[in-house]
Structure 1
Amino acid sequence: MEEKFCCARLGIRHNAPREAGMNFRVVKYHPDGRLDKTNLYRFYFTPGYAPDDAKVMHINIRYCPFCGTDLYEYYNTDDFINEEPGFF
């Protein structure tokens, strides 16, 4: 049986609410706004933030910092989206 997340540590941060501590956010951008139309998903680590925050600090990542998985290969369906593209 395949796990939903590449590792438990990243899964915990994905399921955390945006307001709680360090979390993992997955965003899907519309292809019209991207030069690279093959990779519409983006992956971010963020500190806790409220939905009305004007500027959200974030780190764009490609590899899981815990297990090294290539996020573009593993998280390539809409099932993982947990944020709207306007935040970043």
Structure 2
Amino acid sequence: EQLRCFLWRVAHSSLCTNEWRAHKCLTLNGNCPVCNNHSETIMHILRDCNESKEIWRAVGTEGFLNEFFNLPLVTWLQENLTHVDP
């Protein structure tokens, strides 16, 4: 149930990111606390941060990396939740 709730929040952009917190004046820095190079958005946290990319590569996304790292959020979620290895 927690995973389903988390995925719903991801799909509806309702996670509290630093970008959101900065927009609401709750923090001065909207950057990712891991890499500090980009704004901390949901896609950055889950996919685009270099640290996240390393994790995805380690779990075997090699077969579809170009698609994996370039899809819009909802499409990315749908594709990866239904992906089955051959």
TM-score (norm 1): 0.26
Which has the higher Rg, Structure 1 or Structure 2? 2
Q: Identify which of structures 1 and 2 has the higher relative contact order when contacts are C-alpha pairs closer than 8 Å and 6+ apart.
A: 1
TM-score (norm 2): 0.26
Q: Which has the higher strand share?
A: 1
